[in-house]
């Protein structure tokens, strides 16, 4: 995966992403491969523990919910584990505190509504479905 870098900005490493997230979400903890952050998307929500694994500037972050478990696995996840937060909006020059973590909180809010209504109330990224035997 090649990272697109916006002109005049440099990619952020793991520690810089941790510090950025912690500036906005003070209970963020370092895991060695990324961060753990407690998120409560609404005042009526439970608190979720979200993990963001980040291998570094040339990789995309992988976001998963540690607790409580995601029930019913909406199609806005990939590999059955990771939250689908964005399509092409993120690059490694952008801090987790203003992108990935708030996007995860928004995903959790949408997930809670989906549990009640059965509908995902947000735009969906175009997905290419592969047919067996196709590249």
Q: Which of 21-25, 83-87, 95-99, 102-106 has the lowest mean pLDDT?
A: 83-87
2 vs 116: which has the higher pLDDT: 116
For 77, other C-beta atoms within 10 Å of its C-beta total 17
pLDDT at 49: 98
How far apart are the C-alpha atoms of 82 and 90, rounded to whole Å?
16
71 vs 101: which has the higher pLDDT: 101
Does the pLDDT of residue 87 top 90, yes or no? Answer: no
pLDDT in tens, 117-131: 999 888 776 665 444
pLDDT in tens, 14-57: 999 999 999 999 999 999 899 999 999 999 999 999 999 999 88
pTM for the whole structure: 0.85
CA distances from 70 to 13, 55, 60, 64, 84 (A): 29, 24, 22, 9, 13
Compute the mean pLDDT over every residue in the chain, rounded to the nearest whole number.
Answer: 86
For the chain, give the percent of residues with pLDDT over 70. 84
């Amino acid at each position: 995966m090649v990272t697109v870098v916006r002109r005049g900005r440099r990619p952020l490493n793991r520690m810089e992403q941790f510090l950025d997230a912690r500036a906005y979400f003070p209970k963020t903890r370092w895991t060695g491969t990324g961060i753990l952050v407690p998120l409560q998307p609404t005042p009526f929500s439970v608190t979720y523990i979200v993990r963001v694994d980040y291998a570094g500037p040339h990789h995309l972050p992988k976001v998963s919910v540690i607790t409580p478990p995601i029930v019913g696995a909406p199609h806005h996840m990939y590999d059955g584990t990771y939250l689908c937060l964005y399509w092409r909006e993120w690059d490694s020059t952008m801090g987790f505190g203003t992108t990935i973590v708030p996007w995860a909180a928004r995903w959790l809010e949408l997930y809670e509504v989906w549990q009640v209504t059965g509908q995902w109330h947000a735009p969906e990224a175009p997905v290419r479905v592969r047919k067996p035997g196709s590249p």
